[in-house]
Structures are given as structure tokens and as C-alpha cells.
């Protein structure tokens, strides 16, 4: 089954910029950006990021404020701050053997960087990979990681898989099955996440008096290290 998948990937795999490099820093950037953000949105931001900070050392000496501004629009801004912290740790100490020691790097991201950058025998299991393994009943190996991600994103879809064009369909016990709709993520519009994002955007444009901002959002952002409150608690700035 894995051979069929790899043959399909050779002909239909997506041409993504982070697949053209083995640089662990560039791959880490892509993996952090891709957390909860669509590929199409990430591509231009990834290219812009690497143009501005092409190496770990370049990002490590950047200010947190510049990193936060550059991250605007990608959402979940703590990811950008954690990426910056990870770059500083790597610049100071080198790449750790256990990549989960880096800020913001969990088991999936660690496995992805280990596989795609360092060639380790690690299969990063995201929701797409997990879905394919569950439906096929097959355990795939590390070399199939990119192929699994593409199959899950374009063919073996969550609710209505495109079994008619799936290279694994002939051997898949779930062929032709339809699935219940997945529970949707809570709405962004009107949410506290939106209030946080709006507040951070205002502070990224220029420092603001606390009286002009959403105080609850400021408190939450400050707890995450995304803003600082100066002048005896009256002025909000980026760190």
C-alpha cells in the first residue's frame, strides 16, 4: 500500500517551498506557521519571513516587537513569539537532540523537523495522517510522511473522501464511506480571540494608552508576553 502511495505522490505531490530545502530552521518556520493555518496563507508569509530572517542567527537577534509585527495576520501570535524564543535557544546552544525542548515545539512539530530536515525515522502524525491510517488500517513509515499529508489534504478528506481518485482505494476497507460533519471551530467573529487580535494589531501599529484599549484583552496578551504595560500601568507597548 505504501508503494502505491509513493507512486501517486511522485506524480501528484504539491510543490511547496519548504519541500525544496533541508535547512532545519526553514522547515521549523514552515511547521510553526502551518499550525492551524492554511497552506495557501502560509506560502507568501513563509517566503517573506525567510527573506527578512534567513537564518536562526538572524532571527535570534531580532526584537520581539519586530517578530510580532511580522507575524500579524497569521493568527495565534504566541507561535511567532515561541519561534523567536526557539531561535534564540538554538543560536545559543545549538539544535537539541530532543526538539521538544524548544519553545512551542510539540511531538508533531519535532517529528516533522526530525524527518524533513535531519532524515530521522520519525513519522509526524497530524490529523490527516491519523485519518488515513485509521481508514486504511495500515501503519505507514517515515518516508511516506509528505505523501500522507498531501493525500489527506486533497483526496482522503475528512467528511467526503474522494475515493474515486484515491491510489489506495482498491485496498482500503473504508472505500465509499461518508462521515459525519466534524465539529467546527468556534467562531472567530465576536470572540475573545478576535478581541485579542484587534488589540494586538493596534499596539503593533503604535504604543497606546491602556484607557483606549480592551483591558481584558491587554491582560491576556501581557500574560503571553505579547505586550507590556509601562508608565505605571498606563501605556501598552510591544515587548
Q: What are the catalytic residues?
A: 31
Take residue 59 and report the three cell numbers written for it: 532571527
Compute how many other C-beta atoms are within 10 angstroms of the C-beta atom of residue 122. 18
CA pair distance 25, 126, nearest whole angstrom: 20
Angle at CA of residue 83, ends 197 and 62, nearest 5°? 90
CA pair distance 20, 3, nearest whole angstrom: 22
Compute how many other C-beta atoms are within 10 angstroms of the C-beta atom of residue 92. 9
Whether 125 contacts 140, CB under 8 Å: no
CA pair distance 194, 81, nearest whole angstrom: 18
Half-sphere exposure of 194 (CA within 13 A, CB side): 6
Backbone dihedral angles phi then psi of residue 235, each to the nearest 5 degrees: -125, 130
Amino acid at each position: 500500500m505504501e508503494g502505491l502511495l509513493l507512486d501517486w505522490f511522485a506524480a501528484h505531490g504539491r510543490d511547496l517551498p519548504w519541500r525544496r530545502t533541508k535547512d532545519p530552521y526553514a522547515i521549523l518556520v514552515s511547521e510553526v506557521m502551518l499550525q492551524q493555518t492554511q497552506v495557501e496563507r502560509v506560502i507568501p508569509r513563509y517566503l517573506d519571513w525567510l527573506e527578512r530572517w534567513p537564518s536562526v542567527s538572524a532571527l535570534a537577534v531580532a526584537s520581539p516587537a519586530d517578530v510580532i509585527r511580522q507575524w500579524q495576520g497569521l493568527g495565534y501570535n504566541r507561535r511567532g513569539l515561541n519561534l523567536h524564543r526557539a531561535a534564540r535557544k538554538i543560536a545559543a546552544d545549538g539544535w537539541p537532540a530532543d526538539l521538544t525542548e524548544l519553545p512551542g515545539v510539540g511531538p508533531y512539530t519535532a517529528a516533522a523537523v526530525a524527518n524533513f530536515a535531519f532524515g530521522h525515522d520519525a513519522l509526524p502524525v497530524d490529523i490527516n495522517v491519523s485519518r488515513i491510517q485509521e481508514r486504511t488500517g495500515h501503519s505507514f513509515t517515515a518516508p511516506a510522511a509528505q505523501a500522507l499529508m498531501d493525500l489527506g489534504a486533497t483526496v482522503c478528506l475528512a467528511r467526503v473522501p474522494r475515493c474515486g481518485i484515491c491510489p489506495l482505494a482498491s485496498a482500503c476497507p473504508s472505500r465509499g464511506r461518508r462521515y459525519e460533519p466534524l465539529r467546527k471551530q468556534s467562531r472567530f467573529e465576536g470572540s475573545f480571540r478576535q478581541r485579542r487580535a484587534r488589540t494586538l494589531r493596534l499596539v503593533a501599529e503604535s504604543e497606546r494608552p491602556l484607557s483606549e484599549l480592551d483591558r481584558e484583552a491587554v491582560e491576556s496578551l501581557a500574560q503571553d508576553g505579547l505586550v507590556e504595560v509601562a508608565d505605571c500601568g498606563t501605556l501598552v507597548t510591544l515587548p
